[in-house]
A and B are shown apart, each in its own frame.
Chain A
Amino acid sequence: DSGVTQTPKHLITATGQRVTLRCSPRSGDLSVYWYQQSLDQGLQFLIQYYNGEERAKGNILERFSAQQFPDLHSELNLSSLELGDSALYFCASSVGLGLAGQETQYFGPGTRLLVL
């Protein structure tokens, strides 16, 4: 158990809908990262938040957005869903900003999204 929790575990929805994925980082961790794992794209970094502020962006679609709240939990919002958005979405956390890239990221169990 990494200490990172994600809800829900599974989500089934229809095209065009909007969903929210939730992540609680390990106690004391200030950074939260979101990754998408799909069969065709593999594991891809989406976005990073540190203490409530966006720090880095990856291949995140404009239909997707995220935020980190004062209690440090984070939500990933996916809207106008398409079939291709079906994937496993992981949240990870680390202690700080991860400057110099040395910090270990601890991954949650993921949310499996199926868009029908």
Chain B
Amino acid sequence: AQSVTQLGSHVSVSEGALVLLRCNYSSSVPPYLFWYVQYPNQGLQLLLKYTTGATLVKGINGFEAEFKKSETSFHLTKPSAHMSDAAEYFCAVSEGGATNKLIFGTGTLLAVQP
């Protein structure tokens, strides 16, 4: 069965610093991986996704993630944090096959300090 582990439930960075949010997955089949962001009192918004092809995926708001099969990782990065990036970030894996259901990690709350 697929699963997702997000290391670090809380991450704090200074404005302008590198953002690195970690995600490791477990899957018996080639995974489809997603990063979603949740701003306070809002729904989830897709940042980026990996399905097939290029392992470096670029998303919205300057975020990108690299799929590393050998490390079973899909870490999310952004070169320079902005105050507006403060939110909760969720990594998810999709089983594929007959269903598109998403299995989410426990989330990482990102704080950006001025």
Bound CA span A105–B97, Å: 16
Residues of A1-15 whose CB lies within 8 A of B? 2, 4
Interface set, chain A 28-46, CB cutoff 8 A to B = 31, 33, 35, 42-45
A24 within 8 Å of B by Cβ?
Answer: no
- In the bound complex, residues from chain B placing their C-beta under 8 Å from that of A90 are 43-44
Stretch of B17-25, B64-72, B76-84, B102-110 at the chain-chain interface: B102-110
Assess whether A102 is in contact with B94, with CB atoms less than 8 Å apart.
yes
Residues of B within 8 A of A31 (CB): 100
Asked if B97 and A99 make an inter-chain contact with CB atoms under 8 angstroms apart, the answer reads yes
A56-B97 Cα distance, complex, nearest whole Å? 11
Taking CB atoms, residues of chain B closer than 8 Å to A70 are none
Interchain Cβ contacts within 8 Å, total number? 75
Minimum C-beta distance from B21 to chain A (A): 16
Q: Is B45 close to A, CB under 8 A?
A: yes
**Secondary structure at chain B's binding surface: helix, strand, loop or mixed?**
strand
Instruction: Determine how close the nearest CB of chain A comes to the CB of B102; give it in whole angstroms.
Output: 6
CB contact between B95 and one of A4, A101, A108 (< 8 Å): that residue: A101
Query: With contacts A42-B104, A45-B101, A99-B97 known, what are 14 further pairs, Cβ within 8 A?
Result: A4-B43, A48-B99, A56-B101, A98-B94, A99-B98, A100-B97, A101-B94, A101-B100, A102-B49, A102-B94, A104-B49, A106-B46, A109-B41, A109-B42
Name 13 A/B residue pairs within 8 A (Cβ), A-sorted: A44-B104, A56-B99, A58-B101, A90-B44, A98-B94, A100-B32, A101-B95, A101-B96, A102-B96, A107-B36, A107-B44, A107-B45, A110-B43
